[in-house]
Amino acid sequence: MNKAHRIKKNIEFQYVFKNGKSFANRQFVIYILKKENQKNFRIGLSVSKKIGKAVKRVEIKRYIRQAFHEMYPYIESEYDYVIIARKPAAEMNFHEVKKSLEHVLKIAKAIKGDYFKKK
């Protein structure tokens, strides 16, 4: 993901937490905040030390970024997404992470309907 697609500053994370809506499943919590006049979506990732050591945390972040990259045309733009990984995400491979993210994005109605028709 390039810089235009990232949330990095703590104040931006806090703004999404405070003003956004949250949706969750067993593996992930996603906070979503609509931002008018924003050309593309932005994602922020939070993977706690409770999940595992640095290698595992970086792996989970990489899986999440890749899943968003593959779903890019189907994800609603003009939104900020903050994804928080929960403990069960540590035992998942890439395909399970992607499927779980699809599930929580579907609950949040943040993924376009034709995404599931293409499968």
**Which tokens in the block code for residue 112?**
């376009």
Q: Is residue 31 part of a domain?
A: yes
Domain holding 18, by residue range, is 10-111
Q: Is residue 1 part of a domain?
A: no
Which CATH number covers residue 44?
Answer: 3.30.230.10
Q: Is residue 119 part of a domain?
A: no
Q: Is residue 116 part of a domain?
A: no
Provide the domain count of the chain. Answer: 1
User: What number of CA atoms fall less than 13 Å from residue 111's CA on the CB side?
Assistant: 23
Q: Is residue 118 part of a domain?
A: no
Question: What is the pTM for the complete model shown?
Answer: 0.90
User: For 31-70, what is each residue's pLDDT tens digit?
Assistant: 999 998 888 899 999 999 999 999 999 999 999 999 999 9
User: Would you state the pLDDT for residue 117?
Assistant: 64
Q: Is residue 4 part of a domain?
A: no
Spatial separation of the C-alpha atoms in residues 101 and 107, rounded to whole Å: 10
pLDDT-derived band at 118 (thresholds 50, 70, 90) equals low
Contact 87, 22 (CB under 8 A): no
Q: Is residue 81 part of a domain?
A: yes
Spatial separation of the C-alpha atoms in residues 116 and 119, rounded to whole Å: 6
Contact 65, 11 (CB under 8 A): no
